[in-house]
Structure 1
């Protein structure tokens, strides 16, 4: 799986998303400009000691991302979509894109990706969920659809045994 952040602004969100990506063996793609530097303290704090294990790629622009990932199946997560995120089928190598915290994915990108635009249902007039929460919700649905391939499916106690 691949998570794409289009111009993320808040380092703590990106750090949390990076940690989620490490926990799920998911690649993280960052499209510039970023609202922070990749060596910022807040980014590393949110990602804890997992950031060093993250498979992360950066791109100068959305066009640069498209050029370097030809033929990629990209889902666009946006509050403006007509489809719910659980109504699509995710391939194991698909890309799920999320926009910046203040504005989402630009509409000039969304208009060309109507069939791949997805949303998380929400009540009322709330603008959006937190970016790192949104990534986790959609990513885990995509992983579930792929039977959590190559993931640990059972936990274990330290002092006791499950009977």
Structure 2
């Protein structure tokens, strides 16, 4: 029960550590799609995740193609500043996957173009490019968990 958070080629270890901590706290499975922009031994990654690593369910994927081969028939949502739907307009289902792109480029444009009805965004002022990745994950993940009645959380 719960949701899956998918980070596609994350670049900043502190963001990934913060996201790992959020995933551990809400019992969301974290998927990291390589290449990663940092070492898994990074002290910044470890510090940001604090002592939550033992609570985390994490899976690594060598590429986005490999990820989709393994999880081909799932309920996917794609977070992007270019999304046409507010993240609150979706009906998140148990075991859904929410994908987030790398900090500098987001998700691949062809992937977004093929899934326009599932591309979600967080509203913000016009002149703002984006929110921090770890903040974006927390906002959307907690909305998904709210819709699932915070199953498994106290």
Q: Normalising TM by the smaller chain, what interval?
A: over 0.9
Match of 1:55 among 40, 54, 57: 57
1:42-98 alpha-carbon deviations (Å, 9 max, x no partner): 000000011132111111111100111121111000000110000010001000000
Name which one, 1 or 2, has greater alpha-carbon Rg: 1
The equivalences for 1:64-143 within 5 A come to 64-143=66-145
Alpha-carbon distance in 2 for matches of 1:79, 1:88: 16
| Structure 1 stretches of at least 4 aligned residues deviating more than 2 Å after TM superposition | none
Alpha-carbon distance in 2 for matches of 1:52, 1:108: 36
- SS of 1:93's partner is coil
Q: Where do 5+ consecutive residues of structure 2 fail to align?
A: none
Q: TM-score, normalised by structure 1?
A: 0.91
Alpha-carbon distance in 2 for matches of 1:39, 1:89: 37
Let me know the Cα RMSD of the aligned residues: 0.7
Q: Where do 5+ consecutive residues of structure 1 fail to align?
A: 153-163
Alpha-carbon distance in 1 for matches of 2:82, 2:126: 14
- SS of 2:59's partner is strand
The structure with higher relative contact order (CA 8 Å, sep 6+) is 2
